[in-house]
Every structure is written in structure tokens, then in C-alpha cells.
């Protein structure tokens, strides 16, 4: 029962670790619209345009790399979750098998009770044999008395002789039954010893497998925690970098807008 409680806690841990990590990749804009100006670009604006396009391209590359890395991480996490579930099912099956062997131990106790009953039966047979032996002595005495009066009690002697033969057959049958019961007792004893040795071996094997699976499970959990922390740290670095690039891009857009207004003012001044 304590194995079942332990693995119930293990399943809860697996589900908690299987929750996907949500990222805000979709919140990052794919493009920055720089084509809203109705006026033609000045020579200086034309020189800055490749820089803006390069920064936009770098942002798109970073965003695609972040999406690819997040999908890869989700796929690896799902595969590892499935593997942990398989290990958990194997360990639960081993625990059930151990409980089945414990039930076999209860069957062994029933066998021991049966052997005790057989021993009681053997004692009863021995008592009957002793009683029969006493009866035999009595019959012999009666036979000796009848021999002295053989001529006068020939029919009585014949009857006593018949009883004697029957008693002798009963004693022989009792001895045979005793030998059979003793042989069965020895056979049952050997079978019980063999079953006990086999049960002990199976218990040791299950315990060994259980311990190795437990250590492997804990090792995998620790390894996945380290990998998850590393990926989250990389995601934070990429987010900070993208935030910095977006701020720089906004600053340059403001500067371009100011330059565009200055150029417009200069052009209007020259026309006037």
C-alpha cells in the first residue's frame, strides 16, 4: 500500500512538470511599418534606410529563432513526460507483482496449516496402531487359551484365527498409510522450502528493480530541471535583447521623423 501512495505523489510531480512553458513570442510584432510617409526620402534618409531594414531583419531572425527554440523545447518536454509516464507504469506493475507475491505467502501459511493437520492425522494413526497392537496381544492370549481347548472349541479357534488375520491386515494397512503420509510430508516440506526460496529471490529482484528505477527517475527529474532553467535563462536574455533593439528602433524612427520634418521645412523654405 505504501508503494501506491508514493507513486501517486510521483504522478502529481510528472503532471506538474509536464505543463508547457508559455512564451510571449506572438506578442512581438513581425514588421515595423516605415512606409507611411507620403513624401520622398531625402539623401540622408536613404542612407539610414538600410540600417533600419537590417535591424528589422535581425528582429525577425531573433523572433524566428525564439519560436523555433520554444517549439523544440515543448517537443522535448512532451517526449520526456511520456517517458516518465512509462517508467511510472512499469514501477506500479512491479509493486502490484510484489503484492501478488505477498498473497502467495498467505497461501504458504495455508499449506503449513494443512501440514499441521496431516501431522495430527499421523499421531491419530499411531495411536490406532498402538491400540491395535494391544488388541493383537489380547487375541494371542485368547488363541493360546483356545489351543489348550482345541479339541473342544475348534470352531471358536477358527473364528479367532480369522479375526487375527483381519487384525494383521489392518496393522499392515496402517503401516503402509503411515509410510505414504510420511513420504507426502517430506515432499510437501521440500516444496515449501523451494517456494520460500523462490519467493525470497523474487522479492529481492523486485526491490532491486524498484530502487534502480527510483534512482533513474530522480536523476531524470533533476536533469530536466537543469535543462529547463537553462532554456528559461536563454529566453530571458533574448527577450531583454529584443526589448533593447525595439527601443533603439523606436529612437531611430523618431530621429528619422524629425529629420523628415526638417527636410520638409527646408524644402518649403526654398520654394518660398
* Digit-coded pLDDT (tens) for 111-170: 678 777 777 877 777 787 777 777 777 777 776 766 666 677 667 667 778 888 888 899
The pLDDT assigned to 182 comes to 92
User: How many CA atoms lie within 13 Å of 38's alpha carbon, on the beta-carbon side?
Assistant: 0
d(CA 94, CA 214): 12
| Within-domain flag for 132 | yes
- Please tell me the least confidently modeled range out of 37-51, 57-71, 76-90, 233-247: 37-51
Q: Kindly report, residue by residue over 198-219, the tens digit of the pLDDT.
A: 999 998 888 888 888 888 888 8
Q: Which domain holds residue 112?
A: 63-237
Q: How far is CA 165 from CA 13, 126, 253, 265, in A?
A: 81, 20, 129, 146
Q: In the chain, which residue ranges form alpha helices assigned H by DSSP?
A: 2-17, 43-148, 154-271
Of the candidates 14, 39, 53, the one whose C-alpha atom is nearest the C-alpha of residue 257 is: 39
The pLDDT assigned to 270 comes to 74
| Within-domain flag for 126 | yes
Q: State the angle between helix axes of 154-271 and 2-17 in degrees (0 to 180), rounded to the nearest 10.
A: 20
Residue 22 backbone phi and psi in degrees, to 5: -90, 135
The pLDDT assigned to 229 comes to 86
> What's the number of domains the chain is made of?
1
| Within-domain flag for 197 | yes
Q: Kindly report, residue by residue over 156-167, the tens digit of the pLDDT.
A: 667 778 888 888
- Please tell me the least confidently modeled range out of 94-98, 177-181, 199-203, 206-210: 94-98
| Within-domain flag for 50 | no
The pLDDT assigned to 193 comes to 92
The pLDDT assigned to 28 comes to 36
d(CA 237, CA 260): 34
| Within-domain flag for 35 | no
Torsion of CA 261, 264, 270, 272, to 10 degrees: -100
CATH number, residue 127: 1.10.287
Amino acid at each position: 500500500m505504501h508503494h501506491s501512495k508514493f507513486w501517486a505523489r510521483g504522478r502529481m510531480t510528472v503532471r506538474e512538470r509536464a505543463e508547457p512553458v508559455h512564451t510571449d513570442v506572438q506578442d512581438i510584432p513581425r514588421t515595423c511599418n516605415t512606409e507611411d510617409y507620403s513624401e520622398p526620402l531625402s539623401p540622408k534618409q536613404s542612407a539610414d534606410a538600410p540600417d533600419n531594414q537590417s535591424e528589422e531583419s535581425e528582429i525577425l531572425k531573433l523572433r524566428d529563432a525564439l519560436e523555433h527554440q520554444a517549439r523544440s523545447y515543448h517537443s522535448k518536454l512532451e517526449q520526456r513526460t511520456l517517458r516518465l509516464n512509462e517508467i511510472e507504469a512499469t514501477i506500479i506493475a512491479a509493486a502490484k507483482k510484489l503484492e501478488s507475491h505477498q498473497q502467495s505467502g498467505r497461501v504458504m501459511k495455508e499449506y503449513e496449516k494443512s501440514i499441521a493437520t496431516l501431522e495430527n492425522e499421523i499421531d491419530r494413526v499411531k495411536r490406532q496402531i498402538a491400540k491395535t497392537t494391544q488388541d493383537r496381544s489380547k487375541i494371542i492370549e485368547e488363541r493360546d487359551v483356545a489351543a489348550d481347548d482345541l479339541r473342544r472349541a475348534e470352531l471358536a479357534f477358527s473364528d479367532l484365527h480369522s479375526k487375527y488375520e483381519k487384525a494383521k491386515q489392518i496393522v499392515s494397512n496402517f503401516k503402509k498409510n503411515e509410510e505414504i503420509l510420511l513420504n507426502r510430508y517430506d515432499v510437501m516440506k521440500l516444496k515449501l522450502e523451494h517456494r520460500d526460496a523462490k519467493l525470497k529471490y523474487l522479492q529481492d529482484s523486485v526491490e532491486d528493480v524498484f530502487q534502480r528505477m527510483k534512482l533513474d527517475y530522480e536523476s531524470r527529474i533533476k536533469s530536466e530541471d537543469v535543462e529547463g532553467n537553462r532554456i528559461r535563462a536563454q529566453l530571458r536574455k533574448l527577450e531583454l535583447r529584443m526589448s533593447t533593439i525595439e527601443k533603439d528602433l523606436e529612437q531611430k524612427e523618431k530621429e528619422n521623423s524629425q529629420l523628415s520634418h526638417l527636410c520638409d521645412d527646408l524644402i518649403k523654405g526654398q520654394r518660398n
